[in-house]
Amino acid sequence: MKPGSEVVLRLDAITKRFGKLVANDAISLSLRKGEVVALLGENGAGKTTLMNILFGQYTADSGSVEVFGQTLPPGNSRAALDAGVGMVHQHFTLADNLTVLENITLGVQSLFGWRVNKAETSLKIRRLSDDFRLKVDPDARVGSLSVGERQRVEILKALYRDVKILILDEPTAVLTPQEADDLFATLRIAIANGLSIIFISHKLHEVMAISDRVVVLRHGRRVAEVDVADTDKTALSGLMMGVEAKAPDIAVARPGKTLLSLQNISTPNIKNVPGLCDVSLDLKAGQIIGLAGVSGNGQAALADVVGGMRMPSQGVLVLGGEPLAQWSPRKAVQSGIARIPEDRHKTGTIADFDLTENTILEGYNSTPFSRAGWMNWSKARRFATDIIDKYDVRCPGPDTRIRLLSGGNMQKLILGRVLEADPQIVLANQPVRGLDIGAVNYVHSQLLAARDRGAAVLLISEDLDEIMGLSDVIHVIAGGRLSPGFARGSMTPAQLGIWMAGQGFDSADLDGEVAHAS
């Protein structure tokens, strides 16, 4: 359907400051009926802040929000919802122990009202689910659903409330390429039904595929607004990053001997998170192995095993030719494994420790930082100062509490901490999540440098572009199983997507286990 001229949502010169940081600098945006506008920008560009203002979570310093011609009162979190705007968050807001139907009606129907008319509600949900091709069983418990299905529930929840404007925040981050295609099909139906959509993303090909118009944000400013018909991916990425992006030139890997070998490793499932299922993997010197997969398919278990946090229940870990009898984080550190944890705030650093204390977190108990049970703080401080200089950590000094640093600088400190000891093996778990483009490039160049120095690198990421750009060999993990290794350039994203959905594992006995991801 061709976008009409009726403007359904208008953000007018929204400005929001947090202290010195200008998160939104006079951003204007308008959305017409039946139109998809993509909000494109790196992490930290101001997309989330803008949406929080729309939904009244924040009050803008200046500017106004208009829905269907009515100005919304600032700071009222119900106003946007009542005006017919719905949002599907990146992190779902569903109650696991309730059914799909209960989740959808939660908050719409009064808790203390008459008995819910279940048959009627169920019928309405089924009708919506047929109309919009959102296949999901209204009576299923949300806790038993796959990530893709949960997203459908979130969208149904919004549709059930008869929203006219739907906002999707990074909706494809948790989906396989095939699931993303299904989502786009649904969105096209929604547009045909007169809805308008704001699609927040930093994935260019999706933005190109689904949207009519793109608004590009960078560092809190609206740097461009273009019709998709008049642009291409290269131009968009240039606008988004402020430079012409180019793929890094990567020298051909020269894999050496196997440093760490996982042989038929299994770990138990913990709650809904699958463990590993008979995984074998060799980490070779001078090679980056990329682990692709949809979030929550066993990546955490694999990272835990390699990083010393977990001993496999079955199988053997062979380090430098020796099978390991004991395995712990400390042993991993001492064996020369550099570990970049998935969550730098919760596991990588101690927020209220200063930079010095955080820099020695892994090496605190050995010389020169500790001798006979006593710390040598001047040596520790000098080490921290060296790391800060060498890895370009922007900070007031080594005595600053690390909670005051940006994510990128925090990650640089972690990189320095683990790479300074010339590690044999680098375990990088989501190393660039939430970082700006400069920090991303820095982290990637450090990983490549480690590889060229002869380290074995295991890169775990949910970003297929990152995996495909950096890895010499790609494995896909799905439902705790590991695919065979694919050499650089031998697979298209769509082919990897089939594996990510769990469909590449041919043996018939797997069908039951991986079906939920398809």
Cβ-based nearer residue to another protein, 81 or 128: 81
Helices (H), 242-376: 299-307, 329-334, 355-359
**Can residue 95 be called a binding residue for another protein (CB under 8 A)?**
no
**Can residue 375 be called a binding residue for another protein (CB under 8 A)?**
yes
**Can residue 341 be called a binding residue for another protein (CB under 8 A)?**
yes
Cα(340)–Cα(416) distance, integer angstroms: 10
Least distance (Å) between residue 75 CB and another protein: 6
Phi first, then psi, for residue 60 (nearest 5°) are: -70, 150
Q: Tell which one of 278, 352, 399, 422 touches another protein (CB under 8 A).
A: 352
**Can residue 333 be called a binding residue for another protein (CB under 8 A)?**
yes
Kindly state the tokens that stand for 364. 């605190």
**Can residue 349 be called a binding residue for another protein (CB under 8 A)?**
yes
Q: Tell which one of 133, 330, 390, 394 touches another protein (CB under 8 A).
A: 330
Least distance (Å) between residue 339 CB and another protein: 8
Q: Tell which one of 71, 97, 347, 367 touches another protein (CB under 8 A).
A: 347
Q: Tell which one of 365, 367, 378, 492 touches another protein (CB under 8 A).
A: 365
Give the max Cα distance, the chain: 76
> How many CA atoms lie within 13 Å of 510's alpha carbon, on the beta-carbon side?
19
* Binding string, residues 397-416; x marks residues near another protein by CB under 8 A: -------x------------
- Selected range binding another protein among 65-73, 224-232, 247-255, 360-368, rule: CB under 8 A: 360-368
Cα(73)–Cα(79) distance, integer angstroms: 7
Cα(283)–Cα(426) distance, integer angstroms: 10
Q: With H, G, I as helix, E, B as strand and everything else as coil, classify residue 472.
A: coil
> How many CA atoms lie within 13 Å of 364's alpha carbon, on the beta-carbon side?
11
Least distance (Å) between residue 350 CB and another protein: 4
**Residue 489 one-letter amino acid:** G
Q: Tell which one of 348, 480, 502, 504 touches another protein (CB under 8 A).
A: 348
Cis peptide before 312 (omega within 30 of 0): no
Start-to-end C-alpha separation, the chain: 30
**Can residue 7 be called a binding residue for another protein (CB under 8 A)?**
no
- Closest by CA to 160, choosing from 169, 172, 152, 170, is 152
Q: Tell which one of 69, 115, 229, 374 touches another protein (CB under 8 A).
A: 374
Least distance (Å) between residue 360 CB and another protein: 8
Q: Which parts of this chain interact with another protein (CB under 8 A)?
A: 19, 59, 75, 307-309, 328-333, 339, 341, 346-353, 357, 361-362, 364-365, 370, 373-375, 377, 404
